[in-house]
Amino acid sequence: MAHKPEDWPREFAQHINDGDVDAAAALYVSDATVVSAAGETLAGRNPIRRMLSGLVADKARMEARVVKVVATASGDEAMLYTDWAATMNDASGKPVERRVKAIEVVREQADGSWRLVLGDPNGRG
């Protein structure tokens, strides 16, 4: 469980690398909104779960490096600037590498964990 905002990307990558879609989906609030790699806006856990299932099906191997954290004054929300590197299989089964510079907003939950509220993998170009 992510105990600090900057733990969220590492936790997410671990679940995807392990092929655990349910654990990865649990890292999102129920009404989370994310932008897919194709630029489509996905709202809610079901569309997000389908996207995550695609990452697992493509045998994604992900690594994350948080380069900046900006927290709210209350400390219960934070914006992460994360550099992601992923290797996955394309439609023909060949491995391809992808790098993105994401912006992610996470919120602290009552149990002390952090879940994603908003995410854009191409938010920083």
Which residue range(s) make up the domain with 98?
A: 5-120
What total number of domains does the chain contain?
Answer: 1
- Does 45 fall in a domain? yes
Domain holding 49: CATH number?
3.10.450.50
Alpha carbons 124 and 34: distance in angstroms, whole number: 14
CA 57 vs. chain centroid, Å, equals 16
pTM equals 0.92
Q: pLDDT digit string (tens) for 66-79?
A: 999 999 999 999 99
Residue spans of alpha helices (H) in the chain: 8-17, 21-25, 45-57
- Does 125 fall in a domain? no
Q: pLDDT digit string (tens) for 92-105?
A: 889 999 999 999 99
